[in-house]
A = this chain, B = another copy of it.
């Protein structure tokens, strides 16, 4: 293999595939990036057996393709080297079997490579009917629901996001069993059979970090045990989580004892300040109590002190509420709404609280109350 390529172009694509490498992997080849050069251009690929990332640099973006071939080189080293090289033309050449030279005018690196035959062979082929979603919309979905998933491996299904597609309706849900976030969108082409899969949240978070812009679509190719995402020149494969996702549809009430609207900034800042006098051992509990057209948010740590925050609200009826919840969960939910006003929906002090943007009823944030009264 031998090619000449501009440093900035190679670095841009290494930035994608470096995300497919886990530094903890004890199998050396899984810490590597595979360079595959043919007449059409250069393919870069990485995989840690959980995900795989592949990207393509067209021949038009390569200065010179001297000799096609394949090498497999330590991802961390090639990435750091290219990152620190000046923005000149870099020559990469296989000098003898599994040894490469990386050279610019003044620098010359000689790296030992791995045997390309040891690199995993993965099927990244297309599904016959992929699902197409604007990247901007897809990124929003992940940002609105991913934070609510669990990070504890004790219940693997809760460490993923549930994607459920029926007809043209896509529903995406995340929950850690104490709170839940759910959003839904309409997709362009109807699916024939209902799709119900769980994608690891951490892979989705890596995926949206690779969006350099938000124009265009992302394709989801969904198979039995994997999903393949395609956008721009990038392909990412993620395994799916096995298991049945809890049926959350019955959890979300449709009728409420009391609804109130409150200014987002005021409410967020009040919760944020009240959270100063809470602690994790006590589940960051804060209390909310309504009284006519105002609410008081309060919390305390007995040895330190207490805080009360007063806000005005608009209620839909004369009912009053006294309820306690985790300030951390409330803050996470409010951040995901990104609205100017927030709607809080109650069915009593032991029933879930629903938090919504009044202008977007497709996105639902739910948190369970904490019993203290």
Interface residues in chain A, defined as those with a beta carbon under 8 Å from any beta carbon in chain B: 74, 77, 80-81, 84-86, 99, 106-112, 266, 269-270, 272-273, 276-277, 303-311
Smallest CB separation, A342 vs chain B (Å): 17
Residue of B nearest to A103 (CB): B308
- In the complex, the count of this chain's copies comes to 2
Decide: A108 and B305 in contact? CB cutoff 8 A: no
With A86-B269, A269-B86 already in contact, the answer to whether A307 and B108 are too (CB < 8 A) is yes
Other-chain residue from B111, B112, B276, B308 in contact with A81 (beta carbon distance below 8 A):
B276
Q: Please report the C-alpha to C-alpha distance between residue A106 and residue B74 in the assembled complex, in whole angstroms.
A: 57
Q: How far is the CB of A11 from chain B (nearest CB, A)?
A: 14
In the assembled complex, the Cα of A273 lies from the Cα of B82 at a distance in Å of 9
Bound: A9/B309 CA distance, A: 22
The residue that A111 contacts in the complex, of B77, B305, B309, with Cβ under 8 A, is B305
Closest to A265 in B: B86
Q: Is the CB–CB distance between B80 and A276 below 8 Å?
A: yes
Of B106, B107, B307, the contact of A107 (CB 8 Å cutoff): B307
A112–B305 contact, CB under 8 A?
yes
Q: Which B residues touch A277, using CB under 8 A? A: 77, 109
- Taken together as a complex, chains A and B put the C-alpha atoms of A335 and B273 apart, in Å, by 41
Q: How far is the CA of A108 from the CA of B270 in the complex (A)?
A: 11
Question: By the criterion CB–CB under 8 Å, are B107 and A273 in contact?
Answer: yes
- Residue in contact with A303 in the complex, picked from B112, B272, B307, CB distance below 8 Å: B112
Which of these, B110, B276, B306, contacts A110 with CB under 8 Å?
B306
On whether the beta carbons of A304 and B273 are closer than 8 Å, the reply is no
CB<8 Å pairs between A and B, sample of 6: A80-B276, A84-B273, A85-B273, A106-B270, A106-B311, A112-B304
Q: Are B107 and A309 in contact (CB under 8 A)?
A: yes
**Cβ-defined contact, B269 with A109, below 8 A:** no
Closest CB of chain B to A213's CB: distance in Å? 30
B77 lies within 8 A of A272 (CB): no
Residue numbers in B under 8 Å from A86 (CB-CB):
269
Q: What distance in Å separates the Cβ of A129 from its nearest Cβ neighbour in chain B? A: 45
Given contact pairs A84-B272, A109-B306, enumerate 9 new A-B contacts (beta carbons under 8 Å).
A77-B276, A80-B276, A84-B276, A107-B273, A107-B308, A107-B310, A108-B308, A109-B307, A110-B306
